[in-house]
């Protein structure tokens, strides 16, 4: 982030722009007005999104340079400047993520299809001049928005995502004679022949064949994603499993946005600077506005309050849990590092966005905790059964690939059973509770409906096989 600007005020302005990308024109003040002036509304949104995306890219490039210099100085020693640059880069990627979410109509399943959980390095090492020139050329069209995927944390399909009147498309950025030859081969129908591979190796050497193989794998993943979005079923490129996208739109969604906003404002106004709320009797939220007079971390005070109110908290917070166990307190700022978390820019009032991200009072002082015992009791309300699996199965889950790893809580695996259908909890479920603002009861209804979709789908496929 530029050193001569107030980051809090800057992110407040960005949140305002992202929440009202077409501005304050009276033409767009109502849904009817937007529909009547749709073309003008779209153009205004596109101008805002392009400006913010370019701003995010520029900030990421600056932060990359600061991080490289500081890393060379610090070596293996902890560095507050490196921690600051890591956090700041995550926030600026969330600016671009917010644009992607809006281009996807806030549909989580679409954003999820674009995400392969690829780790992000320095943006400056991703051929920035070529990418920026491509963005400039594509964004010259008023009805097109082009996003450089490396400047996001959630899009891994292609190098650039292009939104146009026909929808979203991912495109690859390739330079050089080898890449030109590889892309020409991939554009063919059918598989690449042995003769083609031999010709590539003869012309460019064995490294070119490795480059071809990488491009083939990338192309296969992209095609899998395109098929999933188009057909709503196919192979998930992350897990390698066959999946079906079900329609759960009839589930009434309730959120905890108002609870979180109320909590933050209460903490800011309270003489004690402290606020504690619980959503659906199981999701606890805590905030302390400002440094504690006793100098203790907020998590220590939160743990004390939880232990007074929750037997589950008393049991698990006194333990030394293994890494990857989710029976823990979760800070709100961790959402900045979760690729599939809804960007905070789109969730809270702009003044609170700035205060939580970089303010003197709330930054680093908002935390969540899920009482799993109380959460489990809610499943009976909808006729579902909550089960804990432990022992060998729980230990085996630790060795699963990260993308397929089931949620481990207090060294056990939580699971839901609806009739013959069984669903395990995954990390994305907690992301929805903590960082998307979904209420626990809504998540429960969605999981039960998901189990029903699984049951019906399995039944239909079984009938087809029998016929």
Strand partners, 285: 277, 368
Cα radius of gyration (the chain): 24
Last residue of a domain, one of 245, 270, 296: 245
Is residue 369 included in any domain, yes or no? yes
Q: Is 250 a member of any domain?
A: no
Q: Does one domain contain both 279 and 331?
A: yes
362 located within any domain: yes
At residue 397, the pLDDT reads 78
What's the rounded Cα separation, in Å, for the pair 53 and 400?
A: 36
Q: Is residue 12 part of a domain?
A: yes
pLDDT attached to residue 463: 43
Same domain, 271 and 383: yes
Residue 422 lies in a domain: yes
pLDDT tens digits for range 18-40: 999 999 999 998 889 999 999 99
The pTM (predicted TM-score) of the whole model is 0.85
In a domain, residue 465? The reply is no
Q: Are residues 213 and 227 in the same domain?
A: yes
- Each residue of 90-120: pLDDT tens digit? 999 999 999 999 999 999 988 988 998 888 8
Q: Where among 123, 138, 170 does a domain terminate? A: 170
Contact of 106 with 436, CB cutoff 8 Å: no
Whether residue 464 lies inside any domain: the answer is: no
- For residue 194, how many C-alpha atoms fall within 13 Å in the half-sphere facing its CB? 0
Residue 291 lies in a domain: yes
Q: Do 142 and 121 share a structural domain?
A: yes
Q: Tell whether 300 and 420 lie within a shared domain.
A: yes
- Distance from C-alpha of 80 to C-alpha of 60, rounded to nearest angstrom: 18
In the predicted model, residues of the chain with pLDDT beneath 70 are: 1-4, 174-192, 211, 214-215, 218-219, 225-234, 236-251, 401-403, 454-467
Residues 354 and 446 in one domain: yes
Whether residues 305 and 396 share a domain: the answer is yes
pLDDT at 467 (0 to 100)? 34
Question: Residues 139, 212: one domain?
Answer: no
pLDDT at 247: 57
| Domain identity same for 121 and 22 | yes
**In the prediction, which pLDDT does 121 show?**
87
pLDDT at 394: 78
Last residue of a domain, one of 143, 170, 197: 170
**What CA–CA distance (Å, rounded) separates 165 from 144?**
8
**What is the rounded distance in angstroms from the CA atom of residue 259 to the CA atom of residue 437?**
9
Give the number of residues written for the chain: 467
Same domain, 310 and 379: yes
Number of structural domains (the chain) is 3
pLDDT at 44: 95
- Of 115, 141, 211, 131, nearest to 171 by C-alpha is 131
- Cβ–Cβ < 8 Å for 149, 161: yes
pLDDT of amino acid 2: 47
Query: What does the alpha-carbon distance between residue 429 and residue 75 come to, in Å, rounded to a whole number?
Result: 37
Q: Residue 344: which domain range?
A: 257-459
Strand partners, 233: 244
How far is Cα 339 from Cα 97, in angstroms, rounded to an integer?
A: 8
277 and 303 together in one domain: yes
* Distance set, CA 418 to CA 33, 423, 424, 452 (Å): 45, 8, 12, 7
If asked whether residues 266 and 410 sit together in one domain, one would say yes
Nearest Cα neighbor of 320 from 194, 212, 410 is 410
d(CA 411, CA 427): 15
């Amino acid at each position: 982030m530029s050193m001569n600007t107030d980051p809090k005020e800057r992110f407040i302005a960005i949140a305002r722009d992202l929440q009202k990308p077409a501005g304050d024109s009276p033409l767009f003040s109502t849904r009817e007005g937007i529909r009547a002036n749709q073309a003008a509304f779209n153009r205004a949104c596109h101008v805002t999104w392009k400006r913010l995306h370019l701003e995010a890219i520029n900030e990421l490039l600056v932060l990359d340079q600061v991080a490289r210099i500081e890393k060379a100085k610090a070596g293996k020693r902890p560095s507050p400047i490196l921690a600051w640059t890591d956090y700041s880069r995550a926030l600026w990627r969330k600016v671009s993520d917010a644009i992607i979410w809006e281009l996807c109509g806030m549909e989580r399943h679409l954003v999820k299809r674009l995400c392969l959980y690829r780790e992000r390095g320095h943006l400056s090492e991703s051929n920035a001049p070529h990418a920026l020139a491509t963005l400039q050329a594509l964004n010259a069209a008023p009805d097109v928005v082009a996003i450089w995927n490396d400047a996001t944390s959630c899009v891994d399909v292609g190098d650039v995502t292009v939104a146009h009147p026909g929808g979203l498309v991912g495109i690859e950025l390739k330079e050089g004679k080898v890449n030109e030859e590889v892309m020409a081969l991939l554009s063919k129908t059918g598989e690449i022949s042995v003769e083609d591979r031999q010709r590539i190796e003869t012309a460019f050497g064995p490294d070119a064949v490795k480059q071809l193989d990488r491009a083939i794998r990338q192309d296969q993943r992209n095609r899998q994603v395109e098929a999933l979005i188009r057909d709503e079923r196919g192979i998930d490129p992350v897990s390698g499993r066959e999946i079906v996208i079900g329609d759960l739109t009839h589930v009434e969604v309730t959120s905890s946005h108002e609870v979180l906003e109320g909590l933050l404002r209460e903490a800011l106004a309270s003489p004690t600077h402290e606020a504690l709320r619980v959503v659906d009797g199981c999701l606890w939220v805590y905030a302390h506005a400002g440094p504690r007079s006793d100098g203790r971390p907020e998590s220590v005070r939160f743990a004390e309050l939880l232990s007074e109110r929750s037997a589950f908290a008393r049991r698990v917070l006194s333990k030394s849990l293994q890494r990857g166990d989710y029976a823990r307190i979760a800070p709100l700022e961790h959402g900045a590092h979760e690729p599939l978390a809804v960007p905070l820019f789109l969730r809270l009032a702009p003044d609170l966005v700035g205060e939580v991200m970089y303010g003197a009072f709330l930054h680093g002082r908002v935390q969540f905790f899920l009482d799993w015992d109380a959460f489990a009791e809610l499943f009976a309300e909808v006729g579902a059964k909550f089960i804990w699996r432990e022992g060998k199965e729980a230990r085996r889950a630790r060795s699963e690939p990260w993308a397929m790893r089931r949620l481990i809580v207090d060294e056990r695996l939580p699971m839901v059973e609806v009739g013959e259908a069984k669903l395990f909890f995954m990390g994305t479920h907690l992301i929805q509770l903590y960082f998307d603002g979904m209420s626990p009861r809504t998540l429960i209804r969605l999981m039960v409906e998901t189990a029903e979709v699984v049951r019906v789908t399995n039944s239909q496929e079984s009938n087809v096989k029998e016929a």
